[in-house]
Chain A
Amino acid sequence: MQSWKYTEDYHMNNFDYFKPKGIEAARELIVSIPNAAFVAGGTNLIDLWKYNLTNPSALIDLNHTGNNITVQEIDSGVRLSAFATNASTAYHPLIENRYPLLAKAILAGASGQIRNMATNGGNLLQRTRCYYFYDPDSPCNKRNPGSGCPAIDGYNRMHAILGTSKHCIAVFPSDMCVALAALDARVNIAGQKSSRCVPFTDFHRLPEDTPELDNTLGHGEIITSIDLPHKGFASNYSYLKIRDRNSYAFALVSVATGLELEGSIIKDARIALGGVAHKPWRIREAEDFLREKQATEKTFESAAAIILSGAQGFKFNKFKIELAKRAIVRNAAMALNPSIQKPGAQPS
């Protein structure tokens, strides 16, 4: 039984604005001002605010907090600033050359203009584009906990097939994060008492009983950077994005694949899916299965079956299960020959 009650108050859409000079000053502000929000690129937050889905009392601008070196080498690999733009990251020579899977995934997302604005930290924190979440006249457990999920019995073509709960079947829309999950990235977070470092696949969460929580970032915490380990799969990689138009649309299904080969034998493999769950979807069991196997279509079909085991379709998105399996196999073929990849991560 879905409830249609309204608990949200509509009020003036005004907010204060602060421009702190450092991370600590920004964190002090967010804990001292009730209902304040951080802003960096603003490409998602300003949109949500215009739709009256968020009404912050104050915006705290993180663009002047320092730490703006886009990409730098560190002992364990490469560090991406959380405050650098998606475009400056994707086009950075270190990323283009050593992590082309990440560059391709970033460039498959949004538009040229948005990538010039949106930041890396913000990319991780963007909200779902579920149309019921975006419609303030609809119930939505993510926006208004306890009000119900109209997507489950409604129009759910874009929605999740893996890791859903009876409270939410929204998908996380990022492309960049699919590659970051495949690459074993780590998220560096500054907190009240200490800093912490979270493996990428533990950063976002499944909806379970609390779909209002997209991720594990606590109030007052700030993502400061994202670390990539040395291994970048720069020889055999591919990002494939299946969508309703060739460019500037969210994924129905996307796949990030990285392979390490010795002849035709797979020595290491990474496969992460986007557009299918509340977080980038990665199944280690499938990657273990691929190790020491021949890189053939059959092998990848078996891996795809492992990754999609447990998938559950809804009325309008059952096609995604077969689509995801075929996309995994096709993207493996593309990863074996990365030069055939097309702009916008289209099938080739």
Chain B
Amino acid sequence: MPRIQLNVNKRMYELEISPWVSLLDALRDRLNLTGTKKGCDHGQCGACTILCDGKRILSCMTLAIMKNGAEVVTIEGVSEGQKLHPLQQAFIDHDAFQCGYCTPGQICSAIGMLAEGKAKTREEVKDLMSGNLCRCGANIGIIDAIMEIHGGLSHE
């Protein structure tokens, strides 16, 4: 069976893995990092969003074997010890979730989106976050939370 190396949340892992295992299943089932969620498993909901070599991607549509040697950050890796990532705190402050299932993907996607540096306005943030669905309807709180970190707090 193929053997791959993954750096996940600054820790090295070596895995024997079948070629058809998604990065999402490798994270959840092999590394027990269940913070990353399986929503649709078809790239439509964004719940599985992680950061791979600094870019936000969908772990459900990625084969683990194709990311041999990559540096992965999941929701478990965004805080510094007990100190929450500013976006995690902002999500709490703005009531940006109800059931919480989409939240890890939302936060990882927002971290990646802000690092891309392309959103200047609230409208652009909304457009660039459209790959993450929230079925509870916390979207306004989510965008408020992101806008706080973005630097231009504005409410709808």
**In the complex, are the beta carbons of A47 and B42 less than 8 A apart?**
yes
**In the complex, are the beta carbons of A112 and B131 less than 8 A apart?**
yes
List CB contacts (< 8 Å) of B12-28 with chain A.
Answer: 18-20, 22
Cβ 8 A contact of A14, one of B18, B41, B121, B127: B18
Residues of A within 8 A of B104 (CB): none
Could you tell me the distance between the alpha carbons of A204 and B14 in the complex, rounded to whole angstroms? 43
| Interface residues on chain A, size class | 20 to 34
Could you tell me the distance between the alpha carbons of A47 and B60 in the complex, rounded to whole angstroms? 9
Query: B138 interface residue, CB < 8 Å from A?
Result: no
Query: A59 interface residue, CB < 8 Å from B?
Result: yes
* Minimal Cβ-Cβ distance residue in A for B18: A14
In the complex with contacts A91-B118, A112-B131, A113-B49, A59-B19 CB distance below 8 A? yes
**In the complex, are the beta carbons of B127 and A43 less than 8 A apart?**
no
**In the complex, are the beta carbons of A248 and B131 less than 8 A apart?**
yes
* Minimal Cβ-Cβ distance residue in A for B133: A248
In the complex with contacts A43-B43, A61-B66, A63-B66, A111-B124 CB distance below 8 A? no
**In the complex, are the beta carbons of B19 and A17 less than 8 A apart?**
yes
In the complex with contacts A42-B66, A111-B130, A247-B130, A15-B20 CB distance below 8 A? yes
**In the complex, are the beta carbons of A116 and B55 less than 8 A apart?**
yes
Query: A16 interface residue, CB < 8 Å from B?
Result: yes
Residues of B within 8 A of A246 (CB): 126-127, 130
* Minimal Cβ-Cβ distance residue in A for B131: A111
**In the complex, are the beta carbons of B128 and A14 less than 8 A apart?**
no
Could you tell me the distance between the alpha carbons of A87 and B115 in the complex, rounded to whole angstroms? 13
Query: A313 interface residue, CB < 8 Å from B?
Result: no
Could you tell me the distance between the alpha carbons of A87 and B128 in the complex, rounded to whole angstroms? 12
Shortest distance from the beta carbon of A137 to any chain B beta carbon, whole Å: 17
How many of B's residues come within 8 Å of A, CB to CB? 34
Could you tell me the distance between the alpha carbons of A112 and B112 in the complex, rounded to whole angstroms? 9
List CB contacts (< 8 Å) of A99-147 with chain B.
Answer: 110-114, 116-117
Could you tell me the distance between the alpha carbons of A14 and B61 in the complex, rounded to whole angstroms? 16
**In the complex, are the beta carbons of B2 and A113 less than 8 A apart?**
no
Query: A22 interface residue, CB < 8 Å from B?
Result: no
Could you tell me the distance between the alpha carbons of A342 and B127 in the complex, rounded to whole angstroms? 10
Query: A39 interface residue, CB < 8 Å from B?
Result: yes
Shortest distance from the beta carbon of B24 to any chain A beta carbon, whole Å: 11
**In the complex, are the beta carbons of B109 and A113 less than 8 A apart?**
yes
Query: B34 interface residue, CB < 8 Å from A?
Result: no
Could you tell me the distance between the alpha carbons of A169 and B126 in the complex, rounded to whole angstroms? 33
Shortest distance from the beta carbon of B26 to any chain A beta carbon, whole Å: 14
Residues of A within 8 A of B19 (CB): 14-17, 59
In the complex with contacts A113-B46, A113-B109, A114-B131, A46-B61 CB distance below 8 A? yes
Which positions in B face A, CB cutoff 8 Å? 2, 18-20, 22, 41-43, 46, 49, 55-58, 61-63, 65-66, 109, 112-113, 116, 118, 121, 123-124, 126-132
Given contacts A46-B63, A117-B58, 20 further A-B contacts (CB under 8 A): A14-B19, A16-B19, A17-B63, A46-B61, A51-B42, A61-B66, A87-B116, A91-B118, A112-B116, A112-B128, A112-B130, A113-B57, A113-B112, A114-B43, A114-B58, A116-B56, A116-B57, A117-B57, A247-B126, A343-B127
Please name the 5 residue pairs, one residue from A and one from B, whose CB atoms are nearest each other, closest first. A111-B131, A247-B130, A17-B19, A343-B127, A248-B130
Jot down 15 A-B pairs with beta carbons below 8 A, ordered by A. A42-B66, A47-B42, A111-B132, A112-B116, A112-B129, A113-B57, A113-B112, A113-B131, A116-B56, A116-B57, A246-B126, A248-B130, A342-B123, A343-B121, A343-B123
